[in-house]
Amino acid sequence: MGKRIIQQRRGRGTSTYKVRNANFKLKLEFKDSGGVVKDIVQDPGRTTPVAMVQYDDGTTGYIPAREGIAVNDSLDGVVMKLSEIPESKPIFAIESAPNTGPVFCRSGGSSAFIVSKDSKNCVVQFPSKKTKVFNLSCRAIVGTPAGAGRGDKPWIKAGNKWIAMHKKGKLYPITSANAMNAVDHPFGGSYSGVNKPKTVSGDAPPGRKVGTVASKRTGRKKR
């Protein structure tokens, strides 16, 4: 008898595939007043350290820490509007709209830069080479986010990697689909790879929606 495949089990919403909210306690936000960095803390759910800022109005907030920032550093010239940042300058933690807080490009070592500007908007290029148009009033942090070398250190132990993946809600370890039995996965039970088409319709049921789902094209792109 078959069993629920991984996609179905994750969609059910049980505690096996849920992330504890305690891992994401820190809310990242920008404020108009200046401030001073009071501490650098580590959020288990993020790849970038978080800077605790004491603002001039007496409140405390958190922003992603940039490379080279230290305790007692001022935020002058750190958080700026896109209209004030020159082109080709590395930026990160970009707001999607004015006063929404940092949203884009927050992973450790992933910085974007401004490609061009006009009277109202500016074009920003992400590490993936994709571009997006932002309002000039959106704010961002100048520099590169800390934690760029996180991928250089090997895991050494599988248990450490399991803990890190589990904190982010990632499934680990992952078994190849064609290495499973036929009752466990649509691609299972084959000795020489997948013996059925890997492209499925977007209207397919969850148990069959595996492989390349509703793909526009397949195969190598001819130049």
Q: Residues spanned by CATH 2.30.30.30 within the chain? A: 20-150
Q: With 70 as the cut, is the pLDDT of residue 82 above it?
A: yes
pLDDT at residue 22 in the model:
56
Angle, vertex CA 106, rays to CA 154 and CA 150, nearest 5: 10
Architecture of domain 20-150: Roll (2.30)
- What's the topology of domain 154-213? Ribosomal protein L2; domain 3 (4.10.950)
List phi, psi (to 5°) of 93.
Answer: 55, 55
Q: What is the pLDDT of residues 125-162, one digit of tens each?
A: 999 999 999 999 999 999 999 998 887 889 999 999 99
Q: With 90 as the cut, is the pLDDT of residue 207 above it?
A: no
143 or 195, higher pLDDT:
143
Q: With 80 as the cut, is the pLDDT of residue 180 above it?
A: yes
Q: Tokens at residue 196, please?
A: 């059925």
Please say whether the beta carbons of 112 and 104 come within 8 A. yes
pLDDT at residue 1 in the model:
58
Gap between the Cα atoms of 209 and 198, Å rounded = 10
Predicted model pTM: 0.71
Q: Tokens at residue 127, please?
A: 């590490």
Q: What is the pLDDT of residues 83-139, one digit of tens each?
A: 999 998 999 999 999 999 999 999 998 999 999 999 889 999 999 999 999 999 999
Q: Residues spanned by CATH 4.10.950.10 within the chain? A: 154-213
Mean pLDDT of 5-19: 76
Concatenated DSSP letters of the chain: -----HHHHHHHT-GGG---GGGG-PPB---SS-EEEEEEE--TT-SS-EEEEEETTS-EEEEEPBTT--TT-B-TTTEEEGGGSPTT-EEESEESSTTS-EEES-STT--EEEEEE-SSEEEEE-TTS-EEEEETT-EEEES-BS-GGGGTS---SHHHHHHHHHHTT---S---GGGS-TTT-TT-S-SSS--S-SEE-TTS-TTT--SEET-S--SPPP-
Lowest-confidence pick of 70-74, 85-89, 155-159, 193-197? 193-197
